[in-house]
C-alpha cells in the first residue's frame, strides 16, 4: 500500500522530486519504492528521462483503477476512527480563493470548536477541477461551475453581488461614470482567473444588461485580490469585485460605491461532492452547515 501511495503521488505530480517533497521522503526513496512496485508487478510504470517522468499505459491504467479505491479506503479508515461521541479523521476540501476571505474561515472556526478530534486540510485552487480527483472529500465552488451529477449543499451567503468601487481621491480627479459603458474611459483594476481569463464585468438595471471590457490599467490575479483592493484605496482606479470584500472599506470611507444601481447579484457558493464519498468528517461538516442555516432562519 505504501508503494501504491508513492506511485499515485508521482503520477499526480509528474515527477519524483515534487512527489518526494509532498510525501516527506527523499527522491531516492521514492525512486526505490517505484522500482520495487515495478518489479513486483513485472511491468514498467513510468518512462524516465532526464527532463520528464511519463506514465506508461500500464501506469496510467493502474492510476485510474487505484485512485478511487484508495480514496474509499481512506474514507473507511476515517469512519472506523470515528465514534458516535466524537468524529475523528481529516476533512480535505478543495476551495476557490473567493471563500477564504470572509466566508469559510469563521465557519471552520466554529466547526473545529465543535469537533476537536477532527483535522481540516484546505487546498485553495481557482481552477475548475473535480475535487475528489485531487484526493479531497469535497470542493467549494460557485453554482455555474458545478457538474450536474453531484450533491451540492449551500454554504455562506446565498446571494452576493459584483460591486464597483473607487477611492474618493480618484473620483475627485475623474468624473464619476453615470453608465457602465463609460468605464472604458476610466483607469480600471481588473482581476484575472488562474486560467488567464479576466473576470467579466457584467451589470444590469431595469432589464438592461451591459457587458464592458475596459483595458485594465492594472491586471492582477485573483489570488492578489487584497492587493488590488489596496491599490483601489490608494486611488489607482475603479475596481469590480465581491461587495462583501468592499463593505469594510465603504464603512471607513476609503472606497466609495460606483454605479450601485447596476451591481449584479449572483448565487452564493456551494459545497459539492459525489454521494459515494461521504466520509464521517464530511458528514459532520454537512450536518454542521445544515445547523448553521437553521440558526440563520431562526434569527
Question: What's the farthest any 2 CA atoms get from each other in the chain?
Answer: 74
For residue 136, what pLDDT band results from cuts at 50, 70 and 90?
A: confident
Mean pLDDT (whole number) for 49-53: 80
* Alpha-carbon span 221 to 214, nearest angstrom: 16
Opening angle at CA 184, ends 179 and 185, nearest 5: 90
pLDDT of residue 83: 54
The residues facing 192 across adjacent strands are: 198, 221
pLDDT at 201 over 90: yes
The residues facing 153 across adjacent strands are: 271
**Domains (ranges, CATH) in the chain?**
1-65 (1.10.10.10), 82-151+270-299 (3.40.190.10), 159-267 (3.40.190.290)
For residue 180, what pLDDT band results from cuts at 50, 70 and 90?
A: very high
* Alpha-carbon span 134 to 130, nearest angstrom: 7
| Of 210, 254, 158, the residue nearest 239 (C-alpha) | 254
* Alpha-carbon span 252 to 80, nearest angstrom: 50
CB 156 within 8 A of CB 269: yes
Q: Please state the pTM of the whole predicted model.
A: 0.68
Tell me, rounded to whole angstroms, the distance of Cα 20 from its chain centroid.
24
Amino acid at each position: 500500500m505504501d508503494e501504491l501511495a508513492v506511485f499515485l503521488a508521482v503520477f499526480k505530480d509528474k515527477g519524483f522530486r515534487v512527489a518526494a517533497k509532498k510525501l516527506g521522503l527523499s527522491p531516492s526513496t521514492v525512486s526505490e519504492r517505484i522500482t520495487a512496485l515495478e518489479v513486483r508487478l513485472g511491468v514498467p510504470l513510468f518512462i524516465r528521462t532526464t527532463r520528464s517522468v511519463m506514465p506508461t499505459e500500464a501506469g496510467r491504467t493502474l492510476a485510474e483503477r487505484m485512485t478511487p479505491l484508495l480514496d474509499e479506503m481512506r474514507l473507511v479508515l476515517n469512519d472506523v476512527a470515528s465514534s458516535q461521541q466524537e468524529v475523528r479523521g481529516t476533512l480535505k476540501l478543495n476551495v476557490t480563493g473567493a471563500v477564504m476571505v470572509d466566508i469559510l474561515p469563521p465557519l471552520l472556526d466554529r466547526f473545529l470548536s465543535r469537533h476537536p478530534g477532527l483535522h481540516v486540510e484546505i487546498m485553495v485552487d481557482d481552477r475548475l477541477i473535480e475535487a475528489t480527483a485531487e484526493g479531497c472529500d469535497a470542493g467549494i465552488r460557485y453554482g455555474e461551475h458545478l457538474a450536474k451529477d453531484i450533491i451540492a449543499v449551500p454554504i455562506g451567503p446565498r446571494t452576493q453581488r459584483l460591486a464597483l468601487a473607487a477611492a474618493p481621491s480618484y473620483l475627485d480627479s475623474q468624473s464619476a461614470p453615470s453608465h457602465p459603458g463609460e468605464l472604458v474611459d476610466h483607469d480600471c483594476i481588473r482581476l484575472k482567473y488562474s486560467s488567464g481569463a479576466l473576470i467579466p464585468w457584467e451589470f444590469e438595471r431595469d432589464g438592461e444588461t451591459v457587458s464592458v471590457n475596459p483595458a485594465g490599467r492594472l491586471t492582477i490575479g485573483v489570488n492578489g485580490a487584497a492587493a488590488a483592493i489596496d491599490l483601489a484605496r490608494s486611488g489607482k482606479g475603479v475596481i469590480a469585485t465581491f461587495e462583501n470584500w468592499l463593505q469594510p472599506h465603504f464603512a471607513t470611507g476609503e472606497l466609495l460605491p460606483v454605479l450601485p444601481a447596476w451591481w449584479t447579484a449572483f448565487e452564493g457558493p456551494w459545497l459539492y461532492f459525489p454521494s459515494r464519498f461521504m466520509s464521517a468528517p464530511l458528514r459532520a461538516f454537512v450536518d454542521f452547515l445544515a445547523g448553521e442555516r437553521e440558526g440563520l432562519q431562526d434569527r
